Each structure stands twice: as structure tokens, then as C-alpha cells.
Amino acid sequence: MWDVVGLGANSVDFVYLLPGYPQPFGSFAKMRIEKQEILCGGQTATAMCACARLGLRAKYVGVTGTDDNGRRVRRELERRGIDLADVIIRDAQNQFAVIFVDETTGDRIVLWDRDEQLLMREREIPSDSIASARVLHVDDVDQGAAIRAAETARAAGVPVTSDIDRITDRTGELIAAVTIPIFAEHVPPQVFGVNDPERALRKLRQTHDGLLCVTLGDRGAIALDGDTMHYVPAFQVNALDTTGAGDVFRAGFIHALLRGAPAEEIVRFANAAAAVSCTRLGALGGIPDLAEVNAMMASGQVRV
């Protein structure tokens, strides 16, 4: 029924575009806000919206609050064509973030908060929806639920992609549970004790036979397919805001995976999607459509 089911985080982002990076002293200790927006985001919610924008049938599974932010998230996801039948509404404040974006570089600082009542419980996982998907995508926010969902998917023969960007005592379990672990750059050195991402993936290969990937920010991404390592450079763009770029990368990855593209093309397509997203403000605000990603692919404007 679904091309992709995503289980994980959502958020309301209060985004402030600033003329530079804030500093505790000097001329950048005080600065005027150039632009402000209230935008929806969150790792998996953004990835599912990007999947839908690329033409996939997407379903979101997560926990939202009863406050205005919770209603805003649900309204925005529904407007973008995401199925919300398995979304949980709990009497709590929805997750939110305050994001400061440096307009000169697109780099950002994220300050966030999440009520513990928003934790997804393992018994709340919609097993039937997961088993009916072509791909399950999970993040590492509610790791117990993500691990159980991944195990459910694998038992049904459904591949599992992931967004792993933090370290906890259950990170190893999550890596083992998913079929395609996709790591933020800072994770492999801490998990595998190897600073070089290629060596880290080859070390993981000893215990994991799936397609392995590490995102490298403005340097692109690498992927280990069998014993073949692919380094795929990022596309050259003038970045306005990098918020949500990793989530859009994963949506592009899922899109290319589902159409049977080889590993190097999967990562290149994901890089192109992420590059387009960096040219716009906000997580959901930066999501590209398929024509825009294909145009970026055709441009050949990669970093050297």
C-alpha cells in the first residue's frame, strides 16, 4: 500500500535568519534578525514530506502533542499528502526547535526540546502498515520503537533505511536492526573507534552485509556496496540554510533505491536532492520536486 513508511520525529521549527554567527562578545553579540519563519520539520517528518514531493506514497508514524504546534504539524503533513492514520496524539507539548541560521554560509545552530511524554512505545508500532510498505525509514529519536519496527520490517522482507546521528547505549542495536544504516559524519568515529569514514564502514562490513552510507556535509557522501566503496561529491550551490538537508538526502536515497538504481547513482541522486534543499529556508520549505532534483543532476556542478 505504501512506498515508504517513516517512523520517528516531528518538530515545529522557529527559524531566525541572522547576518552572521552569534558570538558572546564583540559586534556579533547583538544582531538584528533578518527574517523569521515558523516552519514544520523533524527528521522523519521532513523525510516523508520529501518522499511525497518526489512522487512516493508516504505514511508518517509518530507522536504529536495536543498544543498549537502539534496541530500545526498534523495540518502541514496532511496538506502535503502524508497519511496520518497511525499518528498518535498525546496530551503534551509538541517537540519544537529554535534554529539560528547564518545567512552568509547557511550553517545553523539548533536548540530543541521534547517532552518525555512524546516517547513512542514499542506496543504502539503499526505492524500491518510496516509490513505493507516497500521501505521502512526510521530515525534514532525513540530507539526502542525504531529497533522493534525495523525487526518487524525485516521479518516481513521490507528493507529498512535509517537516520543515525547520535550515540546512545542502544545505537549498536539500531545499526544491527536496520538493513541500510545511513550515518551522520560524526557518528562512525564514536561507534567504531576509527576516524576515517571509509575504514569505519569497512569495519562495520565485518558484521553487517547491507548497503552502508555516511553523509559528509558539503563534501558529499560515501557508500560501501559489497566491497566497493563509492565516494560521491556534493553539488556546488550557494547555501541559504542547511536545515533538513540530511532528511532530504534520505528521501532522495529512498526514491532512487525504490527505482532500482545502482549504489553510486542512489547517493548522487540523494546528494542532488540535499543540494537543492540547502538553497531555501527551513526543513519543509527546502524540499525539492523531482524535476528540480533531475535538473541538479544534469547540471554536473559538483564540488572538486
Give me the pLDDT at residue 95, please: 97
Query: pLDDT digits over 111-135, tens only?
Result: 999 999 999 999 999 999 999 999 9
Report, as an integer, the average pLDDT of 275-297: 91
297 has pLDDT over 90: yes
207-220 residue pLDDT tens = 999 999 999 999 99
Higher pLDDT, 304 or 71: 71
C-alpha cell at 204: 562495520
Distance separating alpha carbons of residues 45 and 79, to the nearest angstrom: 13
Whole-number pLDDT of residue 1: 85
Indicate if the pLDDT at residue 47 is higher than 70: yes
Q: What is the CA radius of gyration of the chain?
A: 18
| pTM of structure | 0.93
What mean pLDDT is predicted for residues 8-23?
A: 92
Residue 28 pLDDT greater than 90, yes or no = no
- The confidence score (pLDDT) of residue 27 equals 83
Mean pLDDT computed over 149-166: 97
Task: Pick the closest to residue 33 from 20, 57, 12, 17 (CA basis).
Answer: 17
Q: Report, as an integer, the average pLDDT of 141-162.
A: 97
For the chain, the structural domain boundaries read 2-10+43-93+116-299
The span from the CA of 131 to the CA of 211, in Å, is 21
Q: Could you count the other beta carbons within 10 Å of the beta carbon of residue 36?
A: 11
Indicate the DSSP class of residue 274: H
Taking the alpha carbons of 219, 223, 229, 230 in that order, is the dihedral positive or negative? negative
Q: What is the tens place of the pLDDT at every residue in 167-186?
A: 999 999 999 999 999 999 99
> What pLDDT score does 304 carry?
55
| Number of Cα atoms under 13 Å in the Cβ half of residue 6 | 32
108 or 223, which is more confident? 223
Cα–Cα distances (Å) from 153 to 70, 143, 147, in that order, read: 27, 15, 10
φ/ψ region of 198 (left if φ > 0, alpha if ψ in -120 to 50, else beta) reads alpha
Residue 243: per-residue pLDDT: 83
- Pull the grid cell for residue 199: 575504514
72 within 8 A of 51, measured Cβ to Cβ? no
C-alpha cell at 293: 532534483
- Cα torsion 292, 233, 10, 87: sign: positive
Query: What does the alpha-carbon distance between residue 254 and residue 251 come to, in Å, rounded to a whole number?
Result: 5
Question: Regarding beta strands 2-7 and 58-61, do their DSSP bridges make them parallel or antiparallel, or are they unpaired?
Answer: parallel
Per cent of the chain over pLDDT 90 is: 84
**CATH number assigned to the domain covering 2-10+43-93+116-299:** 3.40.1190.20
> Does the structure show a pLDDT above 80 at 283?
no
